[in-house]
Chains A and B, each alone.
Chain A
């Protein structure tokens, strides 16, 4: 390695990262995977449990059939094979929050295998900023299998109220799909984009709420490096329990740095399980492979193989909603929307549905798209709300947009009404009238303001007359100021041009 290369601060100049993700997502069911106990969040500890979840002597698991349809939906939405036969296996290990001493999972025969999803990833070198150029990349989905979640060990005295470790088994037995990607991802940003795309799909098909804060969507990342141009993979490490998009990106970036430093010094990467220290932004070895548990997987003799009819798969296929990728293509073609705006709209099925409703009602899809993707989305983000959790109806937003489009309300005033509409709802036209915000389009009034501005700003007027449009915005502003913000901007512009240049 040359001195210049060694000096390079950026490991990505020397190594290509190879990343695969394992995502654990909670399934949207009323009850647990193998017991009738309810699936809830935030219940009193150890209340949402059944003798089955406690691993009482003599209990037996019975598969919650609701999950079969959910697994099929995930399989179809990821262009995967839905296996007509899959098998539950026991993964054996001791831990206090694992009541039976084994986790029921799927091992050699998973329910879903061999698929892919399309992900919009940033073009290399275009940076991570919003608005960066993207390209569609196909990421392989190796497999998805059903398994039960473990309980929670609580080591925090503040949470449990006393010293020592406490166990809450409410989560024990909650149904999960573990979705394993191919090692097709090449950067932290790609990993993050894949996760967002996968989460969006899971929400579209109503398989999971995939709320990371509630632990419903968790990620392990497998990371290795190889010199550019080499086809063989390097030795990988697995970073466990990443519970936010920021941590996924941060952990992968930190692990790339850690591995590159070892490789730069001529060292070898040891296969290991890693943890991510969020405070220090560093990964650290939790345990090396030679110390890894031997899980002694074997088919669970308490359960029979899960057999799925082709007919059921086809029935679910027919019932599958439009997926984000399909919606994106349709929005771009049908409404002529820009890629960036579409990406925002289709990320959430609820937002996309809101947009379509609103666009139809106001008959101005581009305006509706811009209002929703920018102004409304900002209001939602500030309040941490989903669009259907507000008081704003799509018809009301459509009415607001119509008022703007018709020149009866200025964009500025319309924007000022939006927070109230989000929080309290209401009819934009009535609000506008009540508050006297309706734009003045009376030409007599406008002419009066325009005349006054023209006579008071001779230099700017002279430039415009000479063919320079730049001072026009300044003159517009002056008129609007004189009008108290209520003059219809289109009419003002038209009269200004007519009076200065004598044209229209």
Chain B
């Protein structure tokens, strides 16, 4: 029994071929086996999940099906809190933290009938693009376990790619859903900023963070987004719009759709030619389905990575100040005074990359540097938004590579953070401009999956999903499973 995708699971549940309890048992077995081998799963709540599954089965027998997610297991990136459950953010400083309250995702998934199986590995506090910066050790790519999964939501990407759960949630601050989706050969979507509540998401960079789904298909992503989107009064940046109807938008029709190819994304010194070739092939596929291709300009592309790292680290330096050893989390022992308590608790509690970003962020907000760095970055951010506003006058979606290359070997970039940062060039703009973006598997290079990124207008998730779904109806990249899958 494969039952790896959400769609397969839903069909089997609807046909009474399997129960939710059986699906959860299967997922637990896979999580403990493959999930542990691949470093994808960092915590399971077997008893609670089985009880919830029994409840789902009872509902189904009574004719109540809450959503397409009813009875299906899911894992959350380990930065989304659930009452009574640990949330570690893969950090020593939160190693022993148990949340006293429910985050919005725990509530939304429960309301949709989904079964939260456990927590997925990540880069510490979502800082990284390899899922190597984790106290649990690195996650491994199911397509080649010597390679990284991408990150920071690597555990969630692996959970879906390796068939442990049919869907998973991640968070995306600068590409942390789309890039690991691309590396692991699954669909990963970052919704428009404000579409999904951040209540209960441990903040990395508040103005950029957004939660989204990992699935195999765009259709499944639509189901998940319908369940988790919508206004939440507890998040002041949550958009007032209700959750959109998305599945009905998946018509398979892209006739007359204008695809924008940014000339800055297809320059010679840009992405790996093998990646570009796969993406161009996908664009041709959409063209043959009736879409039109236009060239667009995103002239501020050379500045997006530095802008992103100024804004994200500044916000992070403030967001992570609460981890001080005073009220919860790790507190250093045998300290002489308050100053030492702060310094040692934080020095012992945070890993290298987190410390690097706190230092950077503190610096860019400091008196004398604020105007040159943080304020300037906010100005460039406005210019980046302007680039997209103008581009979307000429096109309906923008397509390019999700990442300049395929998954690289674990450990290869650990000593070169700047090269890792530069790899975020295609993904960070969507966060800076608040746009929705999706990464869809579109081929392979060197035996590893390649992701195509589709960006859309703010709040236009429907068009993104329509394009991704139309592509998947005509191709089978999303049906390829890695050799290491369950």
Contacts and interface: CB of A to CB of B under 8 A. Distances in A.
Given A100-B322, A102-B321, A60 B100 contact: no
B236 A55 contact: no
Contacts of A61: 236
Interface in A5-61: 51, 54-61
B99 A57 contact: yes
A455 B233 CA distance: 90
Contact of B322 (A62, A101, A297): A101
Given A60-B199, A90-B318, A298-B374, A51 B100 contact: yes
Which of the four size classes fits the interface of chain A? 20 to 34
B322 A302 contact: no
B328 interface: yes
Residue of A99, A167, A304 contacting most chain B CB atoms (<10 Å): A99
B322 A55 contact: yes
B236 A303 contact: yes
Contacts of A351: none
B234 interface: yes
Contacts of B199: 58-60
B38 interface: no
B206 interface: yes
A92 interface: yes
A339 interface: no
B40 interface: no
Interface string B161-202: 000000000000000000000000000000000000011111
A130 interface: no
Interface in A275-332: 294, 296-298, 300-304
A57 B236 contact: no
Contacts of A227: none
B303 interface: no
Nearest to B104: A58
Given A94-B342, A298-B314, A301-B207, A57 B202 contact: yes
Contact of A56 (B89, B100, B201): B100
A102 B81 contact: no
A56 B74 CA distance: 24
Given A96-B338, A298-B374, A58 B99 contact: yes
Nearest to A303: B236
Contacts of A304: 236-237
B2 interface: no
A417 interface: no
With a 10 A CB-CB cut-off, give which of B199, B201, B322 has the most chain A CB atoms: B322
B327 A92 contact: no
A460 interface: no
B236 A167 contact: no
A109 to B, nearest CB: 14
B318 A296 contact: yes
B80 A94 contact: no
Contacts of A297: 365
A63 interface: yes
A184 B338 CA distance: 40
B235 interface: yes
B366 interface: yes
Interface in B67-112: 79-81, 87, 89, 94, 97, 99-101, 103
B207 A60 contact: no
A57 B322 contact: yes
A296 B365 contact: yes
Contacts of B314: 298
Given A60-B234, A62-B236, A302-B206, A94 B362 contact: no
Contacts of A92: 317-318, 321, 365
Contacts of A59: 101, 199-200
A45 to B, nearest CB: 13
A301 B103 CA distance: 19
Interface string A58-75: 111111000000000000
B237 A57 contact: no
B158 interface: no
A167 B328 CA distance: 13
Contacts of B207: 301
Interface in A200-226: none
A336 to B, nearest CB: 54
Q: Which of A63, A101, A301 has the most CB of B within 10 A?
A: A301
Contact of B315 (A51, A294, A301): A301
A164 B389 CA distance: 57
A302 B367 CA distance: 22
Which bracket fits the contact residues of B? 35 or more
B94 A60 contact: no
B405 interface: no
B394 interface: no
Contacts of B327: 54-55, 99
Interface in B201-237: 201-203, 205-207, 233-237
A58 B201 contact: yes
B99 A56 contact: yes
Majority DSSP secondary structure for residues of A touching B? loop
Interface string A72-113: 000000000000000000101010100111100000000000
Contacts of B367: 294, 296
A489 to B, nearest CB: 69
A59 B99 CA distance: 11
B326 interface: yes
B132 interface: no
B103 A58 contact: yes
Contacts of A90: 318
B316 to A, nearest CB: 11
Given A62-B234, A92-B318, A102-B318, A57 B205 contact: no
B324 interface: yes
A167 B367 CA distance: 30
B338 A296 contact: no
Contacts of A57: 81, 87, 89, 94, 97, 99, 202, 322-323
Interface string A451-481: 0000000000000000000000000000000
Contacts of B318: 90, 92, 101-102, 296, 298
Nearest to A97: B326
Contacts of A94: 321, 324, 342
A167 B325 CA distance: 13
Contact of A60 (B79, B89, B198): B198
A52 to B, nearest CB: 9
Find the residue from B87, B327, B367 having the highest chain A CB count within 10 A.
B327
Contacts of B374: 298
A56 B320 CA distance: 11
B374 to A, nearest CB: 6
Interface string B337-370: 0100010000000000000000000100111001
Interface centre among A56, A58, A294, A300, by most chain B C-beta atoms within 10 angstroms, is A58
Interface string B40-82: 0000000000000000000000000000000000000001110
Interface string A136-179: 00000000000000000000000000000001000000000000
Contacts of B315: 298, 301
Nearest to A61: B236
B308 to A, nearest CB: 14
A149 B174 CA distance: 33
B101 A51 contact: yes
A100 B237 CA distance: 19
Contacts of B203: 58, 302
Nearest to A95: B338
A58 B202 contact: yes
Interface of A: 51, 54-63, 90, 92, 94, 96, 99-102, 167, 294, 296-298, 300-304
Given A56-B328, A90-B318, 4 more contacts: A101-B322, A301-B205, A301-B206, A303-B237
10 contacts: A54-B327, A56-B101, A56-B328, A57-B94, A58-B80, A59-B101, A59-B200, A62-B236, A96-B326, A302-B237
**Which 9 pairs across A and B sit closest by C-beta, in order of nearness?**
A101-B321, A301-B207, A296-B365, A301-B206, A55-B322, A57-B202, A58-B200, A58-B81, A100-B322
